[in-house]
């Protein structure tokens, strides 16, 4: 197999990996913020449920969660699993898993804010929603960006776990070609892809972090 053919096939897997990455961030970042509110809720029941959810998501392998979500419709409800559901299952599993991690990052950032800022905003006539979204959240984002960057970089590499339920992302295709051609070249190319992808992510996150430098 020529290098051009290998690159063409790996390119298809690369698109799937990027889609998993972007869709996971799209859903898990806002979901994580909502979950963090539940984690900090004054309602004991809500706080307890959210704590259990976070403990399960962080205490069990993502690979196991992928398999559970993929096979759950069949084993619980007898629904026939279609091949189209595989990608959907990946996005659901990745999103709820990473939302748990992002929720704890958000919580740490929110709880680190001085109480005086809330009091000052109240004196100035801000509502609770205005205080949070206009004053607190921008500062929280600045504080949590390094931690978010670490999780985002981990996500790039975790996209390879989609192979567990036969979603043909970058690493899966590279592995298949490598086994068929008895060559390390596809795996080396995949490694370069992950390295470049992570470099781009780190560069973008560093750029965003600099944009928040005015919150000191």
Main-chain phi, psi angles of 79, to 5 degrees? -80, 130
pLDDT, position 24: 96
pLDDT, position 80: 83
Q: Give percent above pLDDT 70 in the chain.
A: 97
Structure tokens at 145: 């960006």
pLDDT, position 143: 87
For residue 176, pLDDT beyond 90: no
Cα–Cα–Cα angle for 33, 108, 127, nearest 5°? 60
pLDDT tens, residue by residue, 86-144: 999 999 999 999 999 999 999 999 888 888 888 888 888 888 888 888 888 888 888 89
d(CA 89, CA 21): 14
pLDDT band for position 34 (50/70/90)? very high
Structure tokens at 95: 């999103």
d(CA 80, CA 78): 6
For residue 83, pLDDT beyond 80: no
Task: Cite the DSSP H helix spans in 60-184.
Answer: 62-77, 85-111, 115-123, 128-130, 137-158, 170-181
CA distances to 99, 103, 113, 141 from 40, rounded to whole Å, are: 15, 10, 14, 17
pLDDT, position 93: 95
Top-confidence residue, 93 or 184: 93
For residue 214, pLDDT beyond 70: no
For residue 147, pLDDT beyond 60: yes
Calculate mean pLDDT across residues 147-155: 92
For residue 75, pLDDT beyond 90: no
Structure tokens at 130: 């205005």
What is the average pLDDT value for the chain, to the nearest integer?
88
DSSP string, 6-63: HHHHHHHHHHHHHHHHHHHHHHHHHHHHHHHHHHT-S-HHHHHHHHHHHHHHHHS-HH
Q: Give percent above pLDDT 90 in the chain.
A: 44
For residue 216, pLDDT beyond 60: no
Calculate mean pLDDT across residues 138-153: 89
* Structural domains of the chain sorted by starting position, each given as residue range(s) with its CATH number in brackets: 3-211 (1.10.3720.10)
d(CA 198, CA 181): 27
What sign results for the dihedral spanned by CA atoms 184, 4, 196, 91? negative
For residue 215, pLDDT beyond 60: no
pLDDT, position 74: 84
């Amino acid at each position: 197999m020529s290098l051009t053919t290998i690159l063409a096939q790996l390119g298809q897997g690369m698109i799937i990996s990027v889609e998993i990455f972007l869709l996971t961030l799209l859903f898990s970042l806002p979901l994580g913020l909502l979950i963090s509110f539940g984690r900090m809720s004054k309602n004991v029941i809500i706080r307890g449920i959210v704590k259990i959810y976070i403990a399960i998501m962080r205490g069990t392998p993502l690979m196991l969660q992928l398999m559970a979500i993929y096979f759950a419709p069949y084993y619980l409800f007898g629904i026939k699993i279609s091949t189209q559901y595989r990608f959907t299952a990946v996005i659901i599993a990745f999103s709820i898993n990473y939302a748990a991690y992002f929720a704890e990052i958000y919580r740490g950032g929110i709880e680190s804010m001085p109480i005086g800022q809330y009091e000052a905003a109240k004196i100035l006539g801000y509502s609770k929603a205005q205080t949070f979204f206009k004053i607190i959240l921008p500062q929280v984002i600045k504080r949590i960006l390094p931690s978010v960057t670490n999780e985002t970089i981990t996500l790039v590499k975790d996209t390879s776990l989609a192979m567990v339920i036969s979603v043909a992302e970058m690493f899966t295709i590279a592995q298949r070609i490598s086994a068929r051609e008895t060559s390390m070249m596809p795996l080396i190319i995949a490694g370069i892809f992950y390295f470049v992808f992570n470099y781009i992510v780190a560069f973008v996150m560093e750029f965003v972090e600099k944009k928040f430098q005015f919150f000191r």
